[in-house]
């Protein structure tokens, strides 16, 4: 028996022994009490039986006043081995007749008892006795009381025996259960160890072997471990001999080696570069979007085509006759194909169904989703328009199409219909709710069917994958393989996987310096050089927890008044969806709350909340990251939230503290951040104070760990994992096509 298996079994035996011992300790007094009650009841019955038997003869003897007859009756009854003595008491309480063994300590009448017929227990020097009194009456006249005294020493002897039996029984049970537990633990331990060794040796464990765990028992864990081992082996093979991490160059090598230079098309609503007409001419900017932050570096490495909605005021002026423009400006590496939408289409598809319907529905942000038939019709039409554009831009019949986010839930099935050989990777950048919540959508089946046109469907976390698969199971007739994480629908297979998105790791030489950024940002905001500073970088959206963040600042200043005038939060909020009433109302609430808090705590000094509602370029945001002592990410619900990762990546000084909402995907990866519940205002306040007063050594330890994680798990690894999976599926389809091609002539030959 393996020593570790014994230790594993002892983990169960020790608590079991303690529980059994305590149980025996508690049961023994109960058994004693129960045994005593049984025997006392038995003695009561015996006493009444003897008294009833003596009733008539004793009445006659008393009536005759014959002392000899009375004494003879009592002596004859006392011959019973358990009946110790008898006595007859006169009505005045004096003993008239008694047997020789009558104990003097037993009185003729218990003055405390109102009913002399009640049995009593009396403790004598020789042991406890049971006393039973019975009235003797004749023709209604009280002649006296017959008293019977039973010896109870036998009860003590039997109780002692019973205690021994109970203790022995519990001991035997403990030994038997412990033996079974140890043996079962040993078998389970040996089975799991053998299964893990088999997995590491490459065995499939398709059939049970002697001494191993059942495949059904280990299969869920083995599936996860097998996937992890395969992924690590794949990455090891890709990086073997080069010593390189995931970089644009490695991603390009992957595309060349695994996808043989196959065509890459990216589809999103938001374009990576916007051309705006200004008084100084046409200016180019990047929108405040986590999607753009994540995907744009991938496109630079892939040199494909990005299809997006052209929303800039000068976008039409900068494209060619095919509505294309090369980007990035100054160093073009891929094509941007713009699709034009009318105001009505944009209002219905984007502002209506996507952002008044799907956005609040998926974020569960306590904002009621709104669904209109007119918005849905526009959503369907615009999705079809973009699907047609994908087909137009495809130069082959089997491109790799990367569909981004909730704006294009119908596109995968639409493209699949036109390009059945295409590999469609859809990534859902926002959370996926539980089936009950998603059931609110009137067109839930259409959304699900559209997404199941994907070859690969990605989410940020395994939790969102689980929610999606449960939603499909609830509303569609589909075959779902939980262990393989696949859904078969309409003759097509969709792989549902978690691909936590990340950012491009910055270059080693980051400028300007931390010290320069600290001084510059404080000077621009009229703050002292030593002022403590927190920063929030968000779109002005009700899911980002901006109001809760302000309330935490207010509560922190209430609890720690020494921070008043010494601390400020700079909230950078990029305007978003400003045409929607909900967002207009939200902006008004943000401004009002900031003004109220500032009026309470400014006291002629720096304002505790500095609100910057405007679009900020990436370089400006980068300076804020490097200048801030604390970054607050308090989203009420988020798919990932890349602000948290951008802040960590910007801190090459390994200083600063990240406060991160537990409701973000990033919180599942970055445990070294200070994790908070944004709805718990007091917790947020105390966490903010802890961040502001955290020792530098602890800051470095936490920041170093998070930076190492993000550096290794960067955006190129995110894209590489998806494209690797796509390459694997494409190879499988090609092999299957060849098999089908060769099998058809053979089938025809058999028919002939």
As a whole number of angstroms, the distance between CA 151 and CA 129 comes to 5
For 486-510, how does the pLDDT look when each residue is reduced to its tens digit (9 = 90+)? 999 998 999 999 999 998 888 666 7
- 686 is written with which tokens? 């105390």
> Rounded mean pLDDT of 160-171?
76
pLDDT surpasses 70 at 214:
no
Q: Which of 7-21, 173-187, 273-287 has the largest mean confidence?
A: 273-287
> Rounded mean pLDDT of 238-265?
71
User: Are 714 and 502 a contacting pair, CB within 8 Å?
Assistant: yes
pLDDT surpasses 60 at 197:
no
> Is residue 488 classed as helix, strand or coil in its secondary structure?
strand
> Tokens 């030994």 belong to which residue?
175
- What's phi and psi for 128, nearest 5 deg? -75, 145
User: Are 497 and 465 a contacting pair, CB within 8 Å?
Assistant: yes
For residue 212, name the pLDDT band (cuts at 50, 70, 90): very low
pLDDT surpasses 50 at 114:
no
As a whole number of angstroms, the distance between CA 681 and CA 158 comes to 65
Bridge partners of residue 609, in order along the sequence:
569
* pLDDT score for 610: 96
> Rounded mean pLDDT of 684-704?
96
> Is residue 374 classed as helix, strand or coil in its secondary structure?
helix
* pLDDT score for 118: 46
User: Are 398 and 475 a contacting pair, CB within 8 Å?
Assistant: no
* pLDDT score for 229: 53
Mean predicted lDDT score pLDDT of the chain: 84
User: Are 567 and 609 a contacting pair, CB within 8 Å?
Assistant: no
User: Are 194 and 212 a contacting pair, CB within 8 Å?
Assistant: yes
User: Are 567 and 525 a contacting pair, CB within 8 Å?
Assistant: no
For residue 345, name the pLDDT band (cuts at 50, 70, 90): very high
- pLDDT greater at residue 10 or residue 168: 168
Q: Which of 158-162, 171-175, 381-385, 736-740 has the largest mean confidence?
A: 381-385
Q: For a pLDDT cut of 90, what percent of the chain falls above it?
A: 49
Instruction: Report the range of poorest mean pLDDT among 75-79, 508-512, 545-549, 633-637.
Output: 508-512
For residue 164, name the pLDDT band (cuts at 50, 70, 90): confident
What are the C-alpha distances in Å from 414 to residues 75, 376, 405? 110, 16, 15
Q: Which helix (H) or strand (E) holds 158?
A: helix 153-201
State the CB neighbour count (10 A cutoff) for residue 94. Answer: 10
As a whole number of angstroms, the distance between CA 630 and CA 518 comes to 12
As a whole number of angstroms, the distance between CA 75 and CA 69 comes to 10
Question: Do the bridges between strand 305-309 and strand 334-339 make them parallel or antiparallel, or are there none, so unpaired?
Answer: parallel
pLDDT surpasses 80 at 155:
no
Dihedral (CA of 565, 598, 660, 269) sign? negative
As a whole number of angstroms, the distance between CA 266 and CA 262 comes to 13
As a whole number of angstroms, the distance between CA 554 and CA 546 comes to 13
- 324 is written with which tokens? 């294309």
For 353-368, how does the pLDDT look when each residue is reduced to its tens digit (9 = 90+)? 999 999 999 998 778 9
What are the C-alpha distances in Å from 502 to residues 608, 653, 720? 31, 21, 12
Q: Which of 38-42, 223-227, 387-391 has the largest mean confidence?
A: 387-391
* pLDDT score for 705: 94
| Helix and strand totals (H; E) in the chain | 21, 23
User: At CB < 8 A and 24+ separation, what contacts does 25-32 make?
Assistant: 27/166, 27/170, 28/163, 28/166, 28/167, 31/162, 31/163, 31/166, 32/159, 32/162, 32/163
Domains and CATH numbers, the chain: 3-159 (3.30.450.20), 251-498 (3.40.50.2000), 514-713 (3.40.50.2000)
pLDDT surpasses 70 at 86:
yes
Question: Do the bridges between strand 423-427 and strand 456-459 make them parallel or antiparallel, or are there none, so unpaired?
Answer: parallel
As a whole number of angstroms, the distance between CA 41 and CA 369 comes to 73
* pLDDT score for 697: 95
> Rounded mean pLDDT of 418-430?
94
User: Are 522 and 655 a contacting pair, CB within 8 Å?
Assistant: no
């Amino acid at each position: 028996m393996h020593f570790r298996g014994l230790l594993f079994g002892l983990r169960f035996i020790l608590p079991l022994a303690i529980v059994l011992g305590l149980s025996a300790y508690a049961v023994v007094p109960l058994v004693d009490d129960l045994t005593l009650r049984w025997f006392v009841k038995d003695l009561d019955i015996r006493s009444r039986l003897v008294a009833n038997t003596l009733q008539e003869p004793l009445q006659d003897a008393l009536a005759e006043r014959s002392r000899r007859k009375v004494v003879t009756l009592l002596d004859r009854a006392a011959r019973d081995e358990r009946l110790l003595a008898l006595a007859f008491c006169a009505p005045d309480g004096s003993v008239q007749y008694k047997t020789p063994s009558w104990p003097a300590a037993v009185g003729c009448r218990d003055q405390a008892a109102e009913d002399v017929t009640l049995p009593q227990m009396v403790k004598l020097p020789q042991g406890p006795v049971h006393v039973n009194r019975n009235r003797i009456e004749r023709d209604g006249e009280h002649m006296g009381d017959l008293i019977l005294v039973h010896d109870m020493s036998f009860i003590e002897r039997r109780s002692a025996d019973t205690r021994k039996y109970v203790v022995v029984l519990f001991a035997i049970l403990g030994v038997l259960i412990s033996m079974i537990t140890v043996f079962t633990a040993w078998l389970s331990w040996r089975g799991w160890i053998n299964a893990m060794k088999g997995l590491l040796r490459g065995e499939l464990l398709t059939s049970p072997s002697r001494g191993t765990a059942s495949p059904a028992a280990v299969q869920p864990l083995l599936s996860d471990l097998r996937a992890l081992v395969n992924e690590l082996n794949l990455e090891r093979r890709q990086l073997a001999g080069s010593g390189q991490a995931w970089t644009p160059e490695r991603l390009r090598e992957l595309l060349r080696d695994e996808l043989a230079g196959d065509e890459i098309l990216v589809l999103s609503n938001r374009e990576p570069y916007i051309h705006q007409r200004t008084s100084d001419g046409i200016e180019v900017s990047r929108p405040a979007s986590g999607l753009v932050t994540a995907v744009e570096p991938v496109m630079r490495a892939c040199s494909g085509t990005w299809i997006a909605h052209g929303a800039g005021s000068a976008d039409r002026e900068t494209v060619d006759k095919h509505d294309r423009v090369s980007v990035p400006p100054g160093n073009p590496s891929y094509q941007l194909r713009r699709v034009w939408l009318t105001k009505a289409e944009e209002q219905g598809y984007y502002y209506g169904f996507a952002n008044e319907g799907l956005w609040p529905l998926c974020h569960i942000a306590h904002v009621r989703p709104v669904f209109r038939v007119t918005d849905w019709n526009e959503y369907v039409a615009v999705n079809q328009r973009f699907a047609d554009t994908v087909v137009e831009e495809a130069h082959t019949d089997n491109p790799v199409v990367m569909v981004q986010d909730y704006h294009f839930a119908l596109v995968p099935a639409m493209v699949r219909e036109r390009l059945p050989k295409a590999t469609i990777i859809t990534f859902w950048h926002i959370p996926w709710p539980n089936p009950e919540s998603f059931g609110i959508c009137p067109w839930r089946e259409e959304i699900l069917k559209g997404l199941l046109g994907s070859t690969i469907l990605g989410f940020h976390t395994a939790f969102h994958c689980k929610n999606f698969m449960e939603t499909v199971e609830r509303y569609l007739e589909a075959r779902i393989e939980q262990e393989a994480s696949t859904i078969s629908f309409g003759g097509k297979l969709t792989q549902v996987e978690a691909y936590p998105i990340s950012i491009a790791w910055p270059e080693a030489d980051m400028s300007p310096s931390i010290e320069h950024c600290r001084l510059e940002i404080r000077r621009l905001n009229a703050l002292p050089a030593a002022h403590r500073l927190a920063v929030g970088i968000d779109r002005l959206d009700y899911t980002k927890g901006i109001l809760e963040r302000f309330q935490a600042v207010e509560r922190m200043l209430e609890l720690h008044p020494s921070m008043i005038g010494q601390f400020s939060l700079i909230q950078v909020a990029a305007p978003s969806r400003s045409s929607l009433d909900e967002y207009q109302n939200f902006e008004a609430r943000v401004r009002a709350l900031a003004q109220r808090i500032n009026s309470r705590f400014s006291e002629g000094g720096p304002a505790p909340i500095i609100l910057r509602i405007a679009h900020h370029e990436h370089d400006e945001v980068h300076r804020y990251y490097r200048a801030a002592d604390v970054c607050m990410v308090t989203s009420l619900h988020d798919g990932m939230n890349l602000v948290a990762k951008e802040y960590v990546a910007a801190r090459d000084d390994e200083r600063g503290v990240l406060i991160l909402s537990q409701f973000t995907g990033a919180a599942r990866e970055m445990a070294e951040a200070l994790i908070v519940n944004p709805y718990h205002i007091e917790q947020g306040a105390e966490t903010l104070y802890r961040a502001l007063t955290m020792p530098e050594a602890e800051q470095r330890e936490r920041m170093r760990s998070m930076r190492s994680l993000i550096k290794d798990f960067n955006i190129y690894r995110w894209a590489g994992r998806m494209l690797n999976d796509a390459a694997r599926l494409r190879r499988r389809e090609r092999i299957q096509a060849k098999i089908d091609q060769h099998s058809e002539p053979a089938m025809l030959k058999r028919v002939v």
